[in-house]
Amino acid sequence: MARVEQPIDAGFGAAPQTSTESRPESALARLPWGSFFIIVVLVLVALLAPLIAPHSPTEQSLPDKLSPPAWQEGGSTRYLLGTDVLGRDVLSRLIYGARVSLIVAATALLAGGGVGLMVGIVSGYLGGRTDSVLMRIVDATLTFPTILIALLLAVSLGQGLGTISLAITVLIWARFARVVGGSTQVIRELPFVMLARVAGTPGHRIITRHVLPNVLGTTVVLASLQVGQVILMEASLSFLGAGVPPPEPAWGLMISTGMEHLSRAWWVATVPAIFVMAAVLALNLFGDWLRDRFDPRMNP
């Protein structure tokens, strides 16, 4: 009679063994899809503004001023989000305002990130007195009051996209320099960099072939974390009158002009404020995900 092998009990109350091993959650599964969707819509709206905006953002219609949104009593589908005090379509101004915010963010981050990247690499790689001098300049820059610098530039250079981009660039490059400088100091002490230096490899070649590729990821992640802050900074400066001049559409400027009529026309200031909040929140959440995604401690 054949002998039947019985499975060995793993222990009293032990769960049955399965051959399927737990797999780590994929990066796409952890992606904040809500934030990603908002960012994609924001970019598409900014790029396609002339095609999807129902009206000109500066076109005035005084007979239709302070018209409520379409779902509110007295509203019309012609102006889905209502109009402002000059009869301009709020939706169209929001669409074009997204373009202004993204242009400022892209310009400031590219310029500020580029300057901060170069200063950080030079400071971290050379070290010594060079690092001390450059980092003291960085510390001094980080103490500059953002609003004051922007107001001074607006008075001296005039309002406009260039002025507000320059103001944010002057203030944001130091954040990149601080982070990149610390990363460069760590990379400088790694064995492959020390061997390259012992072998007589020129410093500029070590920087371009070894240091720059290793700090580029850190720079991209930092830039993604700063996009929301730059948009919020641009909205704040426009709110205070140091940004884009009227009648050009900007989210902060729309909030500022709508505050005077908040009691009888809540949508003029509230709707752009909601857009600013949603955009900044989505960008911050996506930046957090990107930081965790590229952090080796989170992805062993």
How many residues are listed for the chain in this entry? 300
Distant-in-sequence, close-in-space partners of 131: CB < 8 Å, separation ≥ 6: 123, 124, 181, 185
Question: What pLDDT does residue 91 have?
Answer: 93
Q: Does 46 score more than 70 pLDDT?
A: yes
Are 151 and 166 a contacting pair, CB within 8 Å? no
Question: What pLDDT does residue 16 have?
Answer: 45
Q: For the residues 88-104, what does the mean pLDDT come to?
A: 92
Question: What pLDDT does residue 15 have?
Answer: 44
Q: Does 273 score more than 60 pLDDT?
A: yes
The pLDDT tens digits for 66-91 are: 899 989 888 888 999 999 999 999 99
Q: For the residues 263-278, what does the mean pLDDT come to?
A: 91
Higher pLDDT, 255 or 246: 255
What does the buried/exposed string (b/e) look like for 46-67 if buried means 16 or more CB atoms within 10 Å of the residue's CB? beebeeebebebeeeeeebbbb
pLDDT-above-70 percentage for the chain: 88
Measure the CA angle with vertex 193, ends 188 and 197; round to 5°. Answer: 105
Q: Does 174 score more than 50 pLDDT?
A: yes
pLDDT-above-90 percentage for the chain: 30
Q: Does 95 score more than 90 pLDDT?
A: yes
Please tell me the pTM assigned to this model.
0.80
Identify the three-state secondary structure at position 291: helix
**Mean pLDDT over all residues of the chain?**
83
The pLDDT tens digits for 194-227 are: 888 888 888 888 888 888 888 888 888 888 888 8
Question: What pLDDT does residue 27 have?
Answer: 54
Question: What pLDDT does residue 89 have?
Answer: 93
Domains and CATH numbers, the chain: 90-294 (1.10.3720.10)
Rounded to whole angstroms, how far apart are CA atoms 115 and 122? 11
End-to-end CA distance of the chain: 53
Higher pLDDT, 296 or 277: 277
What are phi and psi for residue 89, nearest 5 degrees?
-70, 120
